[in-house]
Amino acid sequence: LVCVDIADGSNRIPETFYSAAFLADVRASLAPHGVVCHNFHSGKADLDRRLEEACAAYGAAFPGGACRVPSPARRPWNTIVAASPR
């Protein structure tokens, strides 16, 4: 299990932390049935845009698929993106 939880002072996830290079390194560090969980802030236009970009990047980097689990909390909220290499 790899957990990623990093944001700047405006709750934005820096693009470096969902880039193809970063996700390749994360994938290489996982066991075949391992999982990465990445916490994203969402609920505002700029945060939602980054979440959509990240979901696409995770989908491309992890052939096992990626999913997102939104928090039922008030806006803005957290959304977890989870992915596995298998």
Distance CA 55, CA 37 (A): 12
pLDDT in tens, 1-58: 999 999 998 899 999 999 999 999 999 999 999 999 999 998 889 999 999 999 999 9
Q: What local confidence, expressed as pLDDT, does residue 45 receive?
A: 92
Q: 42: helix, coil or strand?
A: strand
Distance CA 41, CA 43 (A): 7
| Average pLDDT over every residue of 57-69 | 91
Alpha helices, DSSP H only, in the chain? 20-29, 45-61
Q: What local confidence, expressed as pLDDT, does residue 40 receive?
A: 93
Residue 86 has pLDDT above 80, yes or no: yes
Q: What local confidence, expressed as pLDDT, does residue 69 receive?
A: 87
- CA geometry: angle at 44 spanning 8 and 71, to 5°? 85
- Total residues belonging to the chain: 86
